[in-house]
Amino acid sequence: MLHIDLADQYRRGSSRVHRLDPRVKLAGAVLFIVVASALPAGAWGAYGLLFAATLVVAALTGLGAGFALKRSFVALPFALAAISLPFTVAGRPLAQFGPLVVSVEGTVRFASILIKSWLSVQMAIVMTFTTAFPDLLWGLRALRLPPALVAIVSFMYRYLFVLADEALRLMRARASRSGAGAPGRRAGGSLWWRGKVAGGMVGNLTLRAFERSERIHASMTARGFQGEIRMLATPVLTDRDWNALVGWVTFLAMTALIGFVF
C-alpha cells in the first residue's frame, strides 16, 4: 500500500487519563495553558508546581514521566521569538557584550516565557497522546466550538492522509523518470527543472484537491446534507470525570494564587 503515516499522535492505552471524557481533557489542558501563560514573570514556585503537575499527569498516562518531556523540546525554537528581551528590557545590568547590555529583568522575563511555553507544550502533548483524534474533534464540538471550524479540522484530518498519499505517488513518479543520461551526469535535471516539476506537482495537487472537494460535497448532499452539520449523542460526564475536573481546576486556581501573591 502507498501510505504515509502522518504523525497520528494518539497512543492506545487504558490509563485513567485515557479513559477521561475528551471534554474534560480538552478543558483541562486549555485551562492549564491559560494559567501558565497568565502567571507573572519570575513566579518560580508556581512554575515548579505546574511542572510537577505535568510529571504526575504524564506518569498517570502510563506512557512514562519522561514521555512528554522528551517531545516537548520541539517548542523551543518558537521561544526564540523572545530572544531579544534580555537586551531590550531596561533594568539592572547583568552582563555586557560590546554595545549590548543584558538586563536582569529582561533575562527573568525571557526565562519565564521559555518555561511557560515549554510547560504548555508538555500538557498539549499529553492530551493529544491520550485522546484519539476523532474523540478530540467530538470534544471540541461538544464544548460548543463553531461547527464549521470543527468540520474544517475534521476534513483536514481525514484528507491530509489522502493528499499526502497522492503527493507521495507524484514524487515517486518523478523519481522513476529521473534517470541519469550519461555516466557522471546527475540524475533528474537541473535545479530549475526540478523546481518547475515541483511547481507543477503543487498545482496538480491543488486541482485534485479541488475536484475531490466537489465529489465529497456531492457525496454529502447525496446523503441528505443540507448545510447543517449534525452530531451524534453527547454522553453524560461520569463522577470520575467531574472529580478529575474539579480537582484539576482547584489545583490550577491555587497555583495561580501562589504565582500572583508570592
Partner 1 sequence: MPIAVEVQDLHFKYPDGHGALFGVSLRIETGERVALVGPNGAGKSTLMLHLNGILQGEGAVRVAGRALGNGNLGQVRATVGLVFQDPDDQLFSPTVYEDVAFGPLHMGLALDEVRQRSQAALKAVGMEAYGPRVSHHLSVGEKKRIAIATVLSMDAQILVLDEPTAGLDPRARRGIINLLRGLPQTILASTHDLILVRELFPRMVIMDQGRVVADGPTTRFLADQALLEAHGLELP
Which spans of this chain sit near partner 1 (rule: CB under 8 A)?
Answer: 1, 8, 133-134, 137, 154-155, 157-159, 161-162, 212, 215-216, 218-226, 228, 230-233
Q: Categorise residue 95: left if φ over 0, alpha if ψ from -120 to 50, beta otherwise.
A: beta
Is the four-CA dihedral 254, 252, 58, 78 of positive or negative sign? negative
Choose between 186 and 215: whose C-beta lies nearer to partner 1: 215
CA dihedral 190, 196, 201, 203 (to 10 degrees): 170
The nearest distance, CB 158 to partner 1, in angstroms, is 6
Choose between 176 and 226: whose C-beta lies nearer to partner 1: 226
Is the four-CA dihedral 58, 62, 68, 70 of positive or negative sign? positive
The nearest distance, CB 252 to partner 1, in angstroms, is 30
Choose between 87 and 133: whose C-beta lies nearer to partner 1: 133
The nearest distance, CB 74 to partner 1, in angstroms, is 24
Choose between 158 and 174: whose C-beta lies nearer to partner 1: 158
The nearest distance, CB 213 to partner 1, in angstroms, is 9
Choose between 161 and 251: whose C-beta lies nearer to partner 1: 161
Asked if 16 and 125 touch (Cβ cutoff 8 Å), the reply is no
Instruction: Using alpha carbons, select from 174, 237, 212 the residue that is nearest to residue 21.
Output: 237
The nearest distance, CB 234 to partner 1, in angstroms, is 10
